[in-house]
Every structure is written in structure tokens, then in C-alpha cells.
Amino acid sequence: MKKHHLKQVRPAFALNTLFLALSCLFIENAKAEAPLPNDTAAFELSTISVTGNPLGVGSDALVVPISILNGRELANRRESTLGDTLNGIPGVAATRFGPNSSRPVIRGLDAERVRIMQNGVGVLDASSLSFDHAVTIDPLIIEQIDVVRGPAALLYGGSAVGGVVNAIDHRIPKESLDGVTGRVEGSVGGAESQNNLAGVVDVGYGALVVHADAYTRKTSDTDIDGYAVSARKNRADGTPRENRGKLVNSSASGEGGALGASFIFDNGYLGASYSAFRNNYGTVAEEAVRADMRSDRVDVATEFRELGNVINRVKARMAYTDYQHQEIEDGAVGTTFKNEGVEGSLELGHAKIGNIEGVVGFQFQNTDFEALGDEAFVPGVSTQNKAVYLYEELPIDHLKLSFGGRVERVNVDSRTNAKFGAGQNSGFTPYSYALGGLYSFNPNWSFATNLSHNERAPSYFELYADGAHLATGQYEVGNLDFGKERSNGIDAQIRWKDGKNSFSVGAYYTRFSRFLGLLDSGNTRGVDGELNPDDLDGDGVADLSGENILPEAQFSMFAATFKGIEAEGKFNLVDHLDLTLRGDYVRATNRDNGDALPRITPLRLGAGLRYQKNALGARLDVLHAFSQNRTAPNELKTDGYTDVSATVTYKLPTKVHVELFAKAKNLLNQEIREHTSFLKDISPAGERSVLLGLRADF
């Protein structure tokens, strides 16, 4: 076995300077700040969604199902990746390609069908291309996460048919501030031996507000209880069970930060920010390969309200991203992925026409993607996307109706390449529309439903892939003849709220007349692309014993259905003690042959207790994932697990809000393998562990 040494990512001088400045500001503020009330006010924030509705309403008034994480809930859920932070929310799972790369999965849909945004603009990385590419957002600096479940294509495009995840970091301030506010958080421990530190500060003087943040994160190889390779995989194909107690090549080292500023006016703001993201991590699937990632991003944003009797609001956002991901083997760069692009939107809110209120918007995205090296499995591609959309709401007594429509023009053009041949041009015009309603029976009970038609243009890798994708252990083949993906869906929720008590139960059904999926063809390929149709054993099963032989997976178009249920509730049992309940189930089927679709989340049920009184807080969470026995062809089943975690917090008697916390994970020391992961049978979650930390708000 090859030894691999962690490549050191040395903190830049600018980040060190920024941390020093944050520390000084915190100390000075601590001297002057008046005592905060001895409660959780510093962590309890409003539940206003900036994602699910362009008119900006509270979560209870949204037609679409949405989950909002902020304040104390977000602080207690933060993990090293965005996917793991959201995993367990009803309807949301994670791809979990090891501990360092994990995208959200919403209602069984992932990759191009889940739109990941930062402050309302796409992240423009390559995480949807390959599950070993991390999302370029670190949860340490996020202040709020909105998760819209179900079709949100009207506002964000066909790639949001599964849902939207919008990470909000306030790097462009939107509200006036007189003085200094911020937070600092540090933690050590856990199964990965984490060392994390993050600081955020906002300084306001007159009309000017300046924001700065910085973070650093370092982990070692994850400690696991048992072997990395599952017993089931060992029995299925003879993969040896090695590396007991340690997930080899799972360490990581990353850092990042941002500077932003805004001018705040009586009726709006104008601001800009620059942010940097750096990450170096082991890919787990290949013991000698590490990923070295960087992303530099410039954002500008503005919004002005109360403008007149016709157009009463104007909102504009734009971001430029320069992204690079290199795969390094034994110190040498093997493959480089680059993505450079700009995305933006202009939204006009009109004054009421009778009781109708709404917005008209224009969005665009231009990206240039390039893959260089022996393991590049897609050619260089330029993608241009332009869209216009309309969203309207009409309240009628206890009923609120919503309607929206969107039309896009998408051009996906590959460039001539010696490996992939002559360039190809593909163009698509997707149309999407939806009708929704929210009926309030009384102040406590309401019912929400949505009907939608969604169309999505194929992504560049669904069209042009043709090569060995070693991260997933497949030879992937695209199809130039694909048309638009099409689906019709309905979802409904019954909601109840009474003071601190609330619950919602919902169901959905999405029927794809055309679904683009990556399916095992039954063939094998050499890594050089040569088809091996005769490479079968005596039972007609592909023989993968050769070192350079991979199963062939083809992007295919077929009819499919996704249906499921979601539920969550919060109940105040007695003073200071709350009970939470949650659960979800999704069933996905290839309607052309009746097969189950791969990597679908099993039934999950969870419960938790929350205690908070004065300085002391505690929570206990239990999530049981049932075994997944309904699998796609050539997909292994996954055993169920029960994940028990606990958190204890204690607020110190200081002038500013300083809180100690301890988080215990996997208390039953279970073998936790997520069925949604390509690596579920070689990369389990960490063993029982405790993370200790401190957070301060000033």
C-alpha cells in the first residue's frame, strides 16, 4: 500500500491578518458591550425566507414547502460539508462521497436537479459533474440556509426541479449598522480530529457597512469502528476488508474568507464582495489521489424599494466565479477541471394590480468548462443560459393563489478536442409553469398545494461524457440525441401551528415523461474506452477482475416516477422542554421496465428532545434509517442504522454571549452507510466521537 502524506495548505498572509483584525475587534467590543439577557435571544432569528418567494414573506405564508436553518439550529447542525449539514431534514439526504465532499439530495434527486446557490446566485463549481468534487461553500461562515423542496424551476431554472439550497452569508450587507457586530467559533475533536476556527465581523458607520470573515479547517483521517469495506461488498465481489479502524485518505485542510461592503440607503442598498475558497482533501475512492480546489468569486448586488406606482422594487445580483479542481496522485497533477463563468439576475416588482402582486425577472448564466488530463471524461464546453420568468400572487379572503411561468434558452456547445473529436452544438428551449394555493382554515390550520410542469435542458456531461470516471468506478457515456427532460408534479401539505407547537405532513408525486439517468449498461470498458462485450463470466455477469476494466454506465432517457411523504413537528412538552419529530420516505421507479432507481433514500424516522433554561441547553436526537432493500440492477442493498447524537451548551457569565458546547455523534457506535452515496460500501461514517467548542456573539 502506498503511503500518502497530507499536502499542507499554508494560510495566506491576508487570512492571518484578517483573523488578527477579527480578534482585536472582538476584544474591544467585549470591553464596551452591555450584558446580553441570559437567554437564547442571540441565536433565535426570524424565519423569513429569501428563497422560496420573491415577495419576501414568513415561512408560514409560503406556498412551497421549505425548511429554514439559522440561529441556534444552524449552529448545532454545522458539519464540514453542506450536504452533511442538511442531511436528516425531512426530504433531504446527502451524496456523502467521503467526509469531505457531500451535496444535498432532495426527494431522491441530486446533481443537476438540485440547484445550489450562494446568496441567490449559483455557485458555478463542478460538484454536480462528479460527486468527488466538493461544493465551494463552507458551513462555518453561513448565517442561514433555505431549502426549498420540490419544483422551484420558475425562479431558478430547470436544474431546480428537485429543489433549491440557498446558503446566505451576508457578505454583502443589506441593512444599516451603527457599531460592530460579529461572531467567533472554534472547535476541536470528532471522529476526524477536527481543528476549526471561524470569525465574522460587520462594522457600520453612517451609510457604509463593511463585512469581513475568515475560516480555517483541518482534519485527519476519519476514525471508524470496523472496516471501511462493508461485509456485503466483500461477499459480492471479493473486495478485501482492509484498513480496520481508519478511513484512509480522508484528511482535509481548507481555508477561506471574504471582504464586502455596502452603502445603505433609506430604501435600499448597493454592495460588492470578494471571497476565496481553498480546499485540499483526500478522495477516499483512490488512496493515492487528493483533490486540490480553489474558487475565487466576486459578487455585486443591489435592491431599491418604494420606487413608484408602476415598478415599486428593483433587485439585481451578479457573480463572477473562477474555479479550479486538480486531482493529484503521488505529487503529480493528473487531471484539472476548470469552470469560469458569470451569473446574474434582474428582478422588477410591480405595484398591485387590483390585489395581484408579483415580479418579472431576467436571468443569465455563461460558463466555460474545461477538463485537462488523462482522466478527463468530458470535453471543454461553453454553456449559455438566458431566461425570463413571472411570479404572481392573488389573495382572496382565506385563500392565496400563486402562479408562475418561465421560458429559457440554453445552448450547450462542446469544443473540438483530439480525444473527443469535432465540437458539437446543442440548443434547447425549456418551458416551465406552476399553479399553487395556500388556504387558511383558521389561525392554526392551513393547506398548501402546488401543480407544476417542468422542463430541463440536458447538462454538458449528460450530452458529451465519454470516458473513465474513476471516482465513481464507471465508464460514463453521454448521448448527443437527448431532448429536454420533462415532468409534471403535484405536492400538498397540511400545516398546523399554535404558539410554540407546530407540525406539517406532506406528500408529493412527480411523473417524468422523460428522465435522464445514469444506468449500468451491462457492458464493460477498458479505461482507454475499448468496449469489451465478451468480457463475461460463465453466468453472463460482467467480469471486472481486470485492473483496467470498468462497468459501462450510459446516460439514458426513460419514463420515471418519484413519490413520497414528509413530516415534521415541534411540540412544547413543559416549560423549557420541546419534542421534535420528523420522517420521510421516497420511492423512485423506472416506468419503462419497473426497476427501482439507484441511490434512493430509505424510510427514515427521527425524534429529538430540546432543553433550554437560562445558561444551560441540551438536546438529544435519534434518527433511524431503515434498510434499503429496493435497489436498482447491480446495486447492493444497504443495512439500516440508528444514529443517536447529543449536544450540551453552557453560556458563560460574560458581558458578551459566549457559549461552550460539546457535541457527541454516533453514540451507539453504529456502522452508518448512506444508501445515497456512491461510496457507501467503502466509506462509512465516523465512529462514536465528541467535538468540543466555543462560540461567541458580540
Which stretch of 27-36, 77-86, 256-265 has the lowest confidence by average pLDDT? 27-36
Give the pLDDT band (50/70/90) at residue 104. Answer: very high
Q: What is the CATH number of domain 13-697?
A: 2.40.170.20
pLDDT of residue 478: 94
Q: Which amino acid is at 404?
A: G
Region 399-428 average pLDDT:
92
Residue 98 has pLDDT above 50, yes or no: yes
pLDDT of residue 152: 65
pLDDT of residue 11: 38
Short-list 30, 81, 9, 619, CA closest to 253: 9
pLDDT of residue 26: 43
Report residue 60: phi and psi, to 5°: -70, -20
Residue 82 has pLDDT above 50, yes or no: yes
The sign of the dihedral angle between the CA atoms of 121, 123, 126, 130 is: negative
Residue 14 has pLDDT above 80, yes or no: no
Q: Report yes or no: 191 and 665 within 8 Å, Cβ to Cβ.
A: yes
Short-list 391, 417, 416, 415, CA closest to 402: 391
More confidently predicted of 181 and 63? 181
**How many residues belong to the chain?**
698
Report residue 544: phi and psi, to 5°: -105, 20
Residue 17 has pLDDT above 90, yes or no: no
pLDDT of residue 59: 65
Short-list 235, 167, 215, 151, CA closest to 450: 151
**Mean pLDDT over all residues of the chain?**
89
Q: What is the pLDDT of residues 352-395, one digit of tens each?
A: 999 999 999 999 999 999 999 877 899 999 999 999 999 999 99
Residue 407 has pLDDT above 90, yes or no: yes
Q: Which amino acid is at 232?
A: R
Q: Give the rounded distance of the alpha carbon of 80 from its chain centre.
A: 12
Give the pLDDT band (50/70/90) at residue 58. Answer: low
Q: Would you say the pTM of this structure is higher than 0.75? A: yes
What are the beta bridge partners of residue 373? 335
Q: What is the pLDDT of residues 434-450, one digit of tens each?
A: 999 999 999 999 999 99
3-state secondary structure at position 24: helix
pLDDT of residue 331: 86
pLDDT of residue 50: 65
227 CB neighbour count, 10 Å cutoff: 19
Contacts of 296 (CB under 8 A, 6+ apart): 274, 275, 276, 277, 321, 322
3-state secondary structure at position 47: coil
Residue with cell 464493460: 524
| Helix/strand/coil (H/E/C) assignment for every residue in 228-253 | CCCHHHHHHHCCCCCCCCEECCCCEE
Euclidean distance between CA atoms 683 and 634, whole angstroms? 19
pLDDT of residue 27: 42
Q: What is the pLDDT of residues 537-569, one digit of tens each?
A: 444 444 444 457 888 999 999 999 999 999 999
Residue with cell 467590543: 29
pLDDT of residue 57: 67
Residue 601 has pLDDT above 50, yes or no: yes
* C-alpha dist (Å) from residue 166 to 62, 80, 104, 146, 275: 16, 17, 11, 5, 17
E-only strand ranges, 460-603: 466-469, 474-477, 485-498, 501-526, 549-574, 577-590
pLDDT of residue 134: 94
Residue 433 has pLDDT above 80, yes or no: yes
* Angle at 566 (CA atoms; ends 82, 624), nearest 5 degrees: 70
Euclidean distance between CA atoms 234 and 244, whole angstroms? 14
Short-list 165, 135, 138, 163, CA closest to 151: 163
Q: What is the pLDDT of residues 170-191, one digit of tens each?
A: 999 999 999 999 999 999 999 9
